[in-house]
Chains A and B, each alone.
Chain A
Amino acid sequence: MKELVVLSGKGGTGKTSVTAALAALGAGEVLADCDVDAANLHLVLGTHGEAAHPFVSGHTAVIRTDDCSDCGECARLCRFDAILAETVAGRIRFRVDPIACEGCGVCVHFCPSGAIDFPSSTCGWWGTSRTRFGALIHAALDVGAENSGKLVTLVREQARKAATAAGADLVLVDGPPGIGCPVTASLTGADLVLLVTEPSLPALHDLGRIRELARHFAVPVVVCINKCDLNPRLSDRIAEFCRDQGIPVVGRIPFDPLAGDAQIAGVSLVEFAPESPAAAALAAMWEDIRGALATAPQPKG
C-alpha cells in the first residue's frame, strides 16, 4: 500500500481541489483529510454515513475556587500565561484560561492547596464517512484546541487501517498548509508528497520551505503548478526551480473559473467540467503520479 500526501506550504493553492480531482480520477479508494484545523474535502465528496468519535487528548487544568487559597503560585509557575487573576468582591481569584492552557500540569503538581483538577480534554472528533469514491477518514479539531499533530497522526493511522481492511493499494491524503506541527505529522513516512503550487512569488517562496521540510524527513516530492496561466513567467520560473532541485513537475493545470462553480455544486472539477483543459491536465497528471508512485522507494520503517 502506498500513501500520497498533498501539501503546498502556502494555503489556497488548490490542495483540496486537486485531491478531490485525483479521488474522482480513481485515486480515492481511501481518503484522509489531515487539514484538521479547517477540513474541506468532505464539502466536495458528498459524505454520508458518518461515524464520529471524540478525540480525547491531553488535559486542561481547572481551579476549584472553593479550595483555592489565592496564593498565586500557579500564575507564577505557568509559562503559558494561562492563569487569569480576577478581582471578585475585593479578592484576587485565579482561573485557568482553557484556550491558553497547554495541559502541562505544572500548576496541578505544585499547587500547595491541591486545588487544581486536571481532567482529560476532548479536543475535537474524528470519523469515517462514505463518499462517492471510497471511505473518507476526517476530523475536526475544536476551535482554539491543542494537539493538531496527534489528531493528524490518528487520521493517518485510521486511513491506513481502512486501506488494509479494504485491500486498497493507495491512501490519498489532503494535508494542511504551512510547515508546522500538523504538516510534519502529515508527511513523515509518506511514500510521495504532491506539492501543489501556483505562479506567485509568495507560493514560490513557500514551495522552497515545504520542499526543505520534505527533504529533512527524506520524503520524495513531485510538483503540480496550479492556475499556471495566471502568470506564465512565474510558472516557468517555478519549473526552473524544480529542474534545479531535481523535482519532477507532474502537472501544469490552467486556471478555470468553473473551479468555483464546481465547488458550489459540491463536486470536483473533473466531474463538473470533464471536457475542460484543466480536467484534461488533471487526468494527465494522475497518470504521471501513478508512475512516480510505482517507482517511489519503500520508506524505511
Chain B
Amino acid sequence: MRIAVASGKGGTGKTTVAVNLAVTVARSGRQVHLCDCDVEEPNAAIYLDPQLGPAVPVSTPIPVVDNDLCNHCGQCAAICEFNAIACLPRQTLVFPDLCHSCSGCWLVCPEQAITQADRVLGEVSVGSAGSIGFTQGVLRIGETVVPPLIHTVKATVRGAPWVILDAPPGTTCPAVEALRGADFALLVTEPTPFGLHDLDLAVKLARGLDIPCGIVENRAIPGRDIVDRYCAEMDLPVLARIPFTRDLAAVGSEGGLLVDADADVAAAFTQLLDELVGLEARA
C-alpha cells in the first residue's frame, strides 16, 4: 500500500500525519518505508531522527556544445521550448538553469556537437529510524527543477509493503510527482477557509490522477464543522481527526511524536491504520 500524504495548503500537518502514521504502522508489526518527498523543505527527519547513509547527488543531464564541431545551424535552439540554448553566428550558448533535460538538442544536432553533462539538483539519502525505512531528498539551494529529485527519492524504496510518501504542498509538478503511483491519498486539512479552499484543489488533483482519497482533519476545533460539511458534499471520508491544543502544538514544535504524547491521538492513528488496512483488503 503506497499512501501519499498531501494537501494543497502548506503547514496543515502533512509531515505530522506522515511520521505519526509511519510509527503506528511500524508498531503494528508491519514493514514500512517513509519517503520525505518535500525536497524543498524536508522535515520528516526532525521527527524520526533516522540513521542515514551517505548523501548521494542526483543530477539531470544538460547540453554542452563543442563550438569546434558546431556549424551554427540553429536546430538545437529551434527545438528547445525553454530558451535554454541560443545559437549565435559564432557561438552557441547554453543556459543550464532553463534546461528541462528533454534531450531534444543533442538528438537533433546534425554534427554531434552536443554532449551531456550533469547538473546537480540535490541529494538523496537512505537509512532507517528503528524499523522504519527512510529516504529523504534535499533540493540544492537555488535549483528550480524539483520532480526528478522526488522521482529518485521514491525509486529508493525496496520491497516494503507499506510506503508513506510525505508530499510537498501545492498542486503543480512537485505534488504531482509525489502523488503519482500512490494507491491512496491522505489529504490533511484544517478547519479554516484557507485550508478548505486548498483541500478542494488537492481533491481535484487526486481525482485527476485517479487516486482515491480520504481526509485527516488537523487542528480540529469543537463545534467548527466546515470540514465535515465539505466532505459530506464531496462524498469524502474523514478518516482521522487531530484536535488543536496548545500542548499538542508544543509537542509538534519540538519535533515530538503526537502518538507518544497523547493517548487519544494514538488511538486516532490506530483507527486510521485500521481504515487503511480495510481499504487495502477491499482493493
Q: Counting CB contacts under 8 A, is B50 at the interface?
A: no
Q: A104, B100: Cβ atoms under 8 Å?
A: yes
Q: Counting CB contacts under 8 A, is A143 at the interface?
A: yes
Q: Known contacts A37-B169, A209-B141: does B205 contact A201 (CB below 8 Å)?
A: no
A residues 181-197 in Cβ contact with B at 8 Å: 181-184
Q: B144, A180: Cβ atoms under 8 Å?
A: yes
Distance of B266 from chain A, by nearest CB (Å): 21
Q: Known contacts A43-B197, A144-B205: does B8 contact A231 (CB below 8 Å)?
A: no
Q: Counting CB contacts under 8 A, is A240 at the interface?
A: no
Q: Counting CB contacts under 8 A, is A127 at the interface?
A: no
Query: Using an 8 Å CB-CB cutoff, how does the interface string of B173-194 with A read, 1 for contact, 0 for none?
Result: 1111000100000000001111
Q: Collect the chain B residues with CB atoms within 8 Å of residue A52's CB.
A: none
A residues 110-150 in Cβ contact with B at 8 Å: 110, 141, 143-146, 148-149
Q: Counting CB contacts under 8 A, is B29 at the interface?
A: no
Distance of B182 from chain A, by nearest CB (Å): 14
Q: Collect the chain B residues with CB atoms within 8 Å of residue A182's CB.
A: 172
| Docked complex Cα distance between A217 and B97 (Å) | 14
Q: Known contacts A11-B11, A38-B197: does B169 contact A202 (CB below 8 Å)?
A: no
| Docked complex Cα distance between A38 and B144 (Å) | 18
Closest to B226 in A: A264
Q: Known contacts A148-B172, A149-B144, A213-B142: does B79 contact A10 (CB below 8 Å)?
A: no
Query: Using an 8 Å CB-CB cutoff, how does the interface string of A37-49 with B read, 1 for contact, 0 for none?
Result: 1101001100000
Q: Collect the chain B residues with CB atoms within 8 Å of residue A77's CB.
A: 103, 107
Q: Counting CB contacts under 8 A, is B170 at the interface?
A: yes
Q: A102, B102: Cβ atoms under 8 Å?
A: yes
| Docked complex Cα distance between A100 and B107 (Å) | 21
Q: Collect the chain A residues with CB atoms within 8 Å of residue B267's CB.
A: none
| Docked complex Cα distance between A138 and B214 (Å) | 30
Stretch at the interface among A171-179, A243-251, A287-295: A171-179
Q: Known contacts A38-B8, A260-B191: does B255 contact A180 (CB below 8 Å)?
A: no
| Docked complex Cα distance between A111 and B59 (Å) | 28
Q: Known contacts A99-B176, A263-B193: does B81 contact A179 (CB below 8 Å)?
A: no
Q: Counting CB contacts under 8 A, is B273 at the interface?
A: no
| Docked complex Cα distance between A167 and B54 (Å) | 54
Query: Using an 8 Å CB-CB cutoff, how does the interface string of B193-205 with A read, 1 for contact, 0 for none?
Result: 1100110010011
Report the contact-size class of chain A (Cβ under 8 Å from the partner): 35 or more
Which residue from A105, A141, A206 sits with its C-beta under 8 Å from B171?
A141
Q: Known contacts A77-B103, A109-B104, A179-B141: does B253 contact A201 (CB below 8 Å)?
A: yes
Q: B194, A16: Cβ atoms under 8 Å?
A: yes
Q: A184, B169: Cβ atoms under 8 Å?
A: no
Distance of B46 from chain A, by nearest CB (Å): 5
Q: Collect the chain A residues with CB atoms within 8 Å of residue B11's CB.
A: 10-13, 177
Which residue from A40, A44, A103 sits with its C-beta under 8 Å from B81?
A103
Distance of B283 from chain A, by nearest CB (Å): 22
Q: Counting CB contacts under 8 A, is A258 at the interface?
A: no
Find the residue from A40, A43, A184, A234 having the highest chain B CB count within 10 A: A40
| Docked complex Cα distance between A59 and B100 (Å) | 14
Which residue from B40, B100, B104, B246 sits with its C-beta under 8 Å from A179?
B40
Q: Counting CB contacts under 8 A, is B92 at the interface?
A: no
| Docked complex Cα distance between A284 and B145 (Å) | 38
Q: B43, A106: Cβ atoms under 8 Å?
A: no
| Docked complex Cα distance between A149 and B174 (Å) | 13
Interface majority SS (helix, strand, loop, mixed), chain B: loop
Query: Using an 8 Å CB-CB cutoff, how does the interface string of B94-109 with A read, 1 for contact, 0 for none?
Result: 0000001111100110
Q: Known contacts A16-B194, A43-B193, A177-B11: does B101 contact A146 (CB below 8 Å)?
A: no
Distance of B260 from chain A, by nearest CB (Å): 16
| Docked complex Cα distance between A141 and B8 (Å) | 12
Q: Collect the chain B residues with CB atoms within 8 Å of residue A72's CB.
A: none
Q: B144, A105: Cβ atoms under 8 Å?
A: no
Q: B79, A40: Cβ atoms under 8 Å?
A: no
Q: A230, B253: Cβ atoms under 8 Å?
A: yes
Q: Counting CB contacts under 8 A, is B139 at the interface?
A: yes
Q: Counting CB contacts under 8 A, is A205 at the interface?
A: yes
Q: A231, B253: Cβ atoms under 8 Å?
A: yes
Distance of B217 from chain A, by nearest CB (Å): 13
Closest to A206 in B: B41
Q: Lowest 7 CB-CB distances: which A-B pairs, in order?
A: A12-B11, A11-B10, A104-B102, A37-B170, A200-B253, A177-B10, A178-B40
Given contacts A11-B169, A260-B191, 13 further A-B contacts (CB under 8 A): A37-B169, A38-B9, A38-B10, A100-B176, A105-B79, A105-B102, A141-B172, A143-B201, A176-B170, A201-B255, A206-B41, A230-B250, A231-B253
- A-side interface residues toward B, CB under 8 Å? 8-13, 16, 37-38, 40, 43-44, 58-59, 77, 79-80, 99-100, 102-106, 109-110, 141, 143-146, 148-149, 176-184, 198-202, 205-206, 209, 212-213, 216-217, 230-231, 234, 260, 263-264, 266
A-B contact pairs, 25 of them (CB 8 A): A8-B10, A10-B41, A12-B12, A37-B172, A38-B9, A43-B197, A104-B102, A105-B102, A105-B104, A109-B108, A144-B171, A145-B172, A146-B172, A177-B10, A178-B169, A178-B170, A179-B41, A180-B139, A181-B144, A200-B252, A201-B254, A202-B43, A205-B46, A263-B192, A264-B193
